[in-house]
Structure 1
Amino acid sequence: MGRTRWLYAALAMLLAAGCGKSPQDTSESLRRAVAHGNIAEVKSLIAGGANVNARDATGKTPLFHRNADIVQLLIAHGADMNVQDRWGFTPLHAALRGRPSVAVETAKLLIRRGAHVQTRSHDDETPLHAAAALGDLEIVRLLVAQGAEVRAETRTAETPLLRAAQKGRLAIAEFLIANGADVNTQGGENFSSPLHAAVELGHRRLVRLLLDSGAAVNPTDQLGRTPAVRAMQKNQMGIAKTLVAAGAQINLHLAAYLGDVATTKRHIEAGADVNLRDDLDHTALHYAARQGQSEAAELLITNGADVQAINEYGYAPLHLAINHVEVMRVLLDHGANLNAGDWSGETALEKAIVRGDKEVVSLLLARGADIDLHMAAHIGHLDKVKELLANGADINLRLSRIDPSMLEELSAIYRDTPPKQGKPRGDTPLHRAVRGGHADVVEFLAATGADLEARGEGGQTPLQEAADLGFAEVAEVLISHGADVNANSDDPEDWSQTPLHIAADYGHTATVVILLAKGADANVKDAQGRTALDYAWDRRFADVVALLGGDANDPALAQKKLYTVILRNPAAIEEVLSPGEHDGAWIPTEADIQGLDLVLKSYLTENTAIQTRTYVEREEILARLRCYSHEYGGFTLDGTKYILCNLVIMGLPDTPSEERFTSRMDAWWGITRVIFDAETRTVVRVDCT
Structure 2
Amino acid sequence: MASPFAYAGGMVQHMLFEAADSGDLYIVKGMAMLLDEGRGRPGKAVQAARLGGIDEAVDGMGVQHIAASKGRLGVCRYLIEELRMDVDDVDEGGKTPLMMAILLKHVSTVKYLPDHGADVNKASHDGSTPLHLATRLGDCGMVQLLLAKGACVDPVAYCGTPLHVAATQGQDGVMKILLDHSADFNKMVDGRTPLAAAMSAGELKCVNLLIEAGGVVSRDHTSTAAKGGSTERFNYSMEETGANSNISDNGKPVSKRKATELKSLGNKAVEKKDYLSTTGFYMDLCPDDATLFSNRSLCWHHMGDGGKALLDAYECRKLRPDWPKAYYRQGSALMLLKDYESACEALYDGFKLDPGNSEIQDALREAMESWKESASTEVNKGRLEVCRYLIEELRLDVDDVDQEGRTLLIIAILFNHVSTVEYLLNHGADVNKARNDGFTPLHLAYCGTPLHVAASEGRDGAMKILLHHSAGVGGVVSGDCTLTAEESGLTEHFNYSMEETGANCNIFDDGEPVSKMNKAELKSLGNEAVEKKDYLSATRFYSKAVELYPDDATLFSNRSLCWHHMGDGGKALLDVYECRKLRPDWPKAYYRQGAALILLKDYESACEALYDGFKLDPGNSEIENALREALESLKASAITEVC
What is the TM-score with the length of structure 1 in the denominator? 0.31
| Greater relative contact order (Cα < 8 A, sep 6+) | 1
Larger Rg: 2
Q: Which has the higher strand share?
A: 1
Q: Which has the higher helix share?
A: 2
